[in-house]
Amino acid sequence: MRLIRLLLLAAMAFAAIPAQADDEAAVQKLTQLLSQAQTITARFSQITVDASGATSLQETAGELALKRPGLFRWHTDEPQEQLLVSNGQQVWLYDPDLQQVTIQKLDQRQTHTPALLLSGDVSEIRQNFDITYKEAGDVVDFNLKPKGNDSLFESLRLSFRRGVINDMQMMDSTGQRTNILFLGVKMNPAVDPKQFVFEAPAGADVIQE
């Protein structure tokens, strides 16, 4: 539940080339990698650990689909099933256990959150983040730090392997880390637009925020 809320609201060491000082180069490289996939589908597994890294706080898995700009579907498997859907204008969070749907407008703050970054407008990246990167063989790591003070994460790492998104790590102000590994990533597949439309099930409580 915590990670889904973070995705809605807000978030490794290599024997590598040192982080590039040229922010322009980092922005251009990240923009290039993100822009080459207008649609993505994948499975994911995620784990949240405490600040020490020794205690697992939550482990979940699921599947995602996205289409630029702003269309997003993030479905977490049972027993912690939840569904997050964006149609580019608003976001639905559905909790089947609670039979509750939360609806929010997709505002400026939400478009800067980690998961929605993957489906967002890549031209806005430099406006919202300070970016550095490292390269090690076929792996490129980007470290993004939000420029604003209203983010729910302190840093975000995006890792690409052979040009494909591989994993993401978010760290919040308490030092807790959420690691998301993407599996079976497909770039530019045909995606049914109905996946990005949500209708509240009969009997569900609907909260409009």
pLDDT in tens, 5-25: 445 443 322 223 344 445 788
Give me the CATH number covering residue 6: 2.50.20.10
The reply to whether 16 falls in a domain is: no
The CB density around residue 86, as the number of other CB atoms within 10 Å, is 26
189 exposed, middle or buried (CB, 10 Å; 0-12, 13-18, 19+)? exposed
The reply to whether 32 falls in a domain is: yes
The CB density around residue 150, as the number of other CB atoms within 10 Å, is 10
pLDDT for the residue 16: 33
pLDDT for the residue 122: 65
Where does the chain show beta strands of DSSP type E? 39-49, 56-67, 71-76, 82-87, 90-95, 100-105, 129-136, 139-146, 155-161, 164-171, 177-187, 205-208
Question: What range does the domain containing 84 cover?
Answer: 2-11+23-208
The reply to whether 17 falls in a domain is: no
In the block, which residue shows the tokens 């489906």? 119
Per-residue pLDDT band for 143 (boundaries 50, 70, 90) equals very high
Number of domains forming the structure of the chain: 1
What is the rounded average pLDDT for all residues in the chain?
82
Cβ distance 15 to 175 under 8 Å?
A: no
The reported pTM is: 0.82
Cα–Cα distance, 114 to 167 (Å, whole number): 12
pLDDT for the residue 47: 92
Instruction: Give the residue-averaged pLDDT of 146-168.
Output: 86
